[in-house]
Amino acid sequence: MAIDPVVSNPELYSVIFENERVRVLEYLDHPGQESIPHDHPDSVMITLSAFSRQLASGDRTVDVEMPAATARWLGAQSHSGRNTGTTDTHCIFIELKEPPLAPRTGDPVLGPTAS
């Protein structure tokens, strides 16, 4: 069962738009703040601020540094996160409600990618 970030982390995520095909979330945290584990469907992430954070899933971690005004693909994944920088993490997630066109292969994704 999916762990909705708006339910598990309501102080960090809020729904700003939703229809039958997409849901748009705003995310805002402060330096040192952490999210508890949650799931994301395939999404597009748009950064509104530059930030540094660490994402964790099971025994895997990845450090992420993102500039402001950047769009990245966020493949479906489960993770928790921690703001490891000195600035707020502020971004928008455009979650797709349709299933992927092809089954996923390989290791699970952790963090955003360029494509």
Q: Which strands, in side-by-side order, build the sheet including 51-57?
A: 34-40, 77-83, 51-57, 60-66
Task: Give the tens place of pLDDT for each residue, 56-95.
Answer: 999 999 999 999 999 999 999 999 999 999 999 999 999 9
Backbone angles phi, psi at 7, to 5 degrees: -85, -45
Place of tokens 């409600």: 97
Confidence bin at 96 (pLDDT 50/70/90): very high
Residue 100 has pLDDT above 70, yes or no: yes
- The C-alpha angle 65, 71, 72, rounded to 5 degrees, equals 70
Instruction: In whole angstroms, give the CA distance from residue 69 to residue 54.
Output: 19
Task: Give the tens place of pLDDT for each residue, 16-52.
Answer: 999 999 999 999 999 999 999 999 999 999 999 999 9
- Three-state secondary structure call for residue 26: strand
